[in-house]
């Protein structure tokens, strides 16, 4: 393995209107704006919910420089001074996009040298940024998947609470009482073109040290879990960072304090009708990140709080909650079918690796927002794990059918009428 990842640090979004996304994140999703970077060349805002951090960068506009709260501008020392965004590439993508998952590493220069020898491409070479609290070194690695990249970040010589170049916003998120019970990023889901998911899995395994994680006990057939409903379907495969092992990809001393980092790769099945993954690839213009799942300890409270604030969620057919086996499953988990139905929450029993080693029933509850961007290219998920570590195939099938029904209805609305 060439790069030794310690933990996920943040996820980057590039958008045309930071103010709109900031309003959605704070007022609807109950994120906390805690740091900003405003210059004449870029505008970056950092939001936090639990330990999940999102950095939103605005593309295509110039801004005045904001006064520094530290009284000292960031100082850089690098082979090439950073232009525009710090800790990322300048956001020039034609549509709003989530495109960078940043990881902390132990040795940026060593990772850079090793990965370059493997033929990997870097969009930003090792770059050091300093302020009064120390220094941070980073480089930006281009992935094999569309516009997705990964910032490799070394913070071992920095004592600040976030990153040099950002001004902290002194606000207490608990002051308003709107603290959402979200703890961390559970997984990142990506869409790849037909027939490429195995290549993507191989790249992440050999370059960043991920290993295959089975979505379902039978998903090793044809390289992933296959969902096929009404002639439209997908193949789903997952991976996670290696747990403490002889490779040292994740430090054992850190592992017990950090949640698992999982990536999910989805691709359409060949020779089928147009589906939601095809729509993503067309509107996004390339493969990329489709959704982020936020883990919560209380999905019902989190969903209600966000829905009351204006977040639109997908609602599932009432029959889903009243069918015999599913109804018994919901009741067995101690849940109220009516409350789950009212909030669009799906429930499934984990049939993955953990259940095979234990007689304890473990449950997974999930709910999905409608798209956040103007294009149908990104949405959020809330997920509550009651002992489950995998992904419920029943939830996947139910979501696939629900979203496809919604998109088919939207396409019918937009279709031009035939002249009489």
Q: Which DSSP string do the residues of 9-63 spell out, in sequence order?
A: EEEEEEES-HHHHHHIIIIIS--EEEEEEE-SS-EEEEEEETTEEEEEEE-S---
CATH fold match for the domains 5-175 and 182-412: yes
Q: What is the pLDDT of residue 174?
A: 58
Segment (H or E) for 3: none
pTM of the model: 0.85
Q: What is the pLDDT of residue 73?
A: 34
Q: Which two tokens stand for residue 188?
A: 């990142």
Cβ 29 vs Cβ 372: under 8 Å: no
Domain ranges of the chain: 5-175, 182-412
Nearest residue to 359 (alpha-carbon basis) of 387, 330, 327, 394: 387
Q: What is the pLDDT of residue 64?
A: 35
**Alpha-carbon gap, residue 105 to 226, rounded angstroms:** 34
Q: Which residue has the tokens 């019902």?
A: 300
Q: Which two tokens stand for residue 231?
A: 């002639």
Other C-beta atoms lying within 10 Å of the C-beta of residue 383: 23
In 206-285, at which residue ranges do the beta strands (DSSP E only) sit?
Answer: 210-213, 225-229, 232-241, 262-268
Nearest residue to 105 (alpha-carbon basis) of 96, 97, 114: 114
Local structure of residue 269 (DSSP, 8 states): P
Q: What is the pLDDT of residue 171?
A: 63
**Alpha-carbon gap, residue 211 to 206, rounded angstroms:** 9
**Alpha-carbon gap, residue 173 to 167, rounded angstroms:** 17
Please tell us whether the domain made up of 182-412 is placed in CATH 3.30.70.100.
Answer: no
**pLDDT tens string for the chain (420 positions)?**
568 898 999 999 999 999 999 999 999 999 999 999 998 878 999 999 999 999 999 976 443 333 222 223 334 333 343 457 899 998 889 999 999 999 999 899 999 999 999 999 999 999 999 999 999 999 999 999 999 999 999 999 999 999 999 999 976 655 555 677 899 999 999 999 999 999 999 999 999 999 888 776 655 566 778 777 666 778 888 899 865 433 343 433 334 445 578 999 999 988 877 788 999 999 999 999 999 999 999 999 999 999 999 999 988 888 888 888 889 989 999 999 999 999 999 998 875 444 444 456 788 999 999 999 999 899 999 999 988 877 766 666 666 666 666 666 655 555 554 444
**Residues 4-14 as b or e (16 or more Cβ within 10 Å = b):** bbbbbbbbbbb
Q: What is the pLDDT of residue 146?
A: 96
Topology classification of domain 5-175: 2,3-Dihydroxybiphenyl 1,2-Dioxygenase; domain 1 (3.10.180)
**Alpha-carbon gap, residue 362 to 332, rounded angstroms:** 11
Within 8 A by CB and 6+ apart from 172, the residues are: none
C-alpha distances (whole Å) from 363 to each of 92, 149, 186, 263, 335 are 41, 33, 15, 20, 11
**Alpha-carbon gap, residue 242 to 114, rounded angstroms:** 19
């Amino acid at each position: 393995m060439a790069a030794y990842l310690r933990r996920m640090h943040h996820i980057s979004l590039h958008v045309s209107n930071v103010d709109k996304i900031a309003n959605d994140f704070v007022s609807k999703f109950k994120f906390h704006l805690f740091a900003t970077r405003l210059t004449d060349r870029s505008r970056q805002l950092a939001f936090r919910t639990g330990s999940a951090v999102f950095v939103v960068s605005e593309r295509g506009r110039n801004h005045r420089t904001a006064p520094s709260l530290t009284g000292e501008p960031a100082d850089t020392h690098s082979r090439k001074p950073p232009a525009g965004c710090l800790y990322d590439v300048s956001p020039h993508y034609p549509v709003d996009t989530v495109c960078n998952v940043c990881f902390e590493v132990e040795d940026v220069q060593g990772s850079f040298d090793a990965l370059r020898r493997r033929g990997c491409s870097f969009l930003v070479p090792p770059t050091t940024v300093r302020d009064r609290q120390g220094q941070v070194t980073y480089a930006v690695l281009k992935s094999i998947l569309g516009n997705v990249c990964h910032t490799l970040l070394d913070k071992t010589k920095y004592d600040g609470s976030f990153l040099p170049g950002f001004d902290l916003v002194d606000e207490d998120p608990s002051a308003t009482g709107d603290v959402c019970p979200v703890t961390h990023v559970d997984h990142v889901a990506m869409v790849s073109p037909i027939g490429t998911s195995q290549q993507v899995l191989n790249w992440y395994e050999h370059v960043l040290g991920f290993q295959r994680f089975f979505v379902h006990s039978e998903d090793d057939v044809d390289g992933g879990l296959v969902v096929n409903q009404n002639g439209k379907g997908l193949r789903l495969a997952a991976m996670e960072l290696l747990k403490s092992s002889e490779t040292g990809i994740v430090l054992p001393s850190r592992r017990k304090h950090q949640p698992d980092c999982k990536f999910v790769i989805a691709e359409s099945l060949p020779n089928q009708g147009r589906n939601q993954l095809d729509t993503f690839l067309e509107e996004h213009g390339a493969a990329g990140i489709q959704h982020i799942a936020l883990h919560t300890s209380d999905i019902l409270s989190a969903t209600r709080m966000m829905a009351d604030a204006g977040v639109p969620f997908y609602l599932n057919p009432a029959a889903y909650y009243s069918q015999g086996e599913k109804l018994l499953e919901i009741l067995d988990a101690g849940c109220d079918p009516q409350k789950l139905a009212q909030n669009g929450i799906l429930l499934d029993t984990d049939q993955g690796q953990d259940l095979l080693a234990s007689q304890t029933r473990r449950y997974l509850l999930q709910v999905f927002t409608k798209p956040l961007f103007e294009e149908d290219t990104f949405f959020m998920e809330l997920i509550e794990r009651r002992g489950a570590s995998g992904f419920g195939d029943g939830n996947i099938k139910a979501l696939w059918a629900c979203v496809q029904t919604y998109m088919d209805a939207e396409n019918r609305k937009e279709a031009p009428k035939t002249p009489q």
